Amino acid sequence: MKTFVINPSSIIKNWYLLDASGQTLGRFASKIAMLLMGKHKCLYTNNFDVGDYVIIINAKKIIVSGNKNKDKLYYSHSGYMGGLKIINFEKLLITHPDRIIFHAVKGMLPKNILGNKMLKKLKIYNLNEHVHVAQKPEKLEGF
């Protein structure tokens, strides 16, 4: 049996459009991470970026189960003494709904340079419109 090695120039990257309205955060983020890593392809290799581009619309309509609306906390730090800021899910959903999906997907990707490259292929929009019409994204229904 011969060893198969992927040529990076032969990787075809598609664009996918996903609608976040009514989706549960964790399950939706895991599917996005799978698309970004390329695990849905038969050519998946963990040392190459074979994943696709993902566009998410209606990020403000994402839902969580249970009491996570009030209990789920997001932390940020300015780097200065006493610079810790804590905000819960409800307030972050009002101010920056795109950051909720971004943080969920970021936690599911590899923590290295390759994971950072994968995360740059994620485009999140709060409304129903996006600016990537020229890429002709394929809409995934029931994903």
Q: What is the mean pLDDT of each run of 10 residues along the chain (143 residues)?
A: 84 96 97 97 91 97 96 97 97 97 98 97 97 96 79
Query: Which amino acid makes up residue 55?
Result: I
Tell me, what's the pLDDT at 99?
Answer: 97
Task: Enter the tokens of residue 103.
Answer: 């943080």
Residue 68: name the closest of 34, 119, 104 by CA: 104
What's the pLDDT score for residue 10?
Answer: 86
Distance CA 91, CA 83 (A): 19
User: From CA 13, how far away is CA 21, in angstroms rounded?
Assistant: 25
How confident is the model at residue 33, as a pLDDT?
Answer: 98
Determine the pLDDT at residue 8: 83
pLDDT value for 125: 98
Amino acid 9: pLDDT: 86
Q: For position 5, what pLDDT does the model report?
A: 83
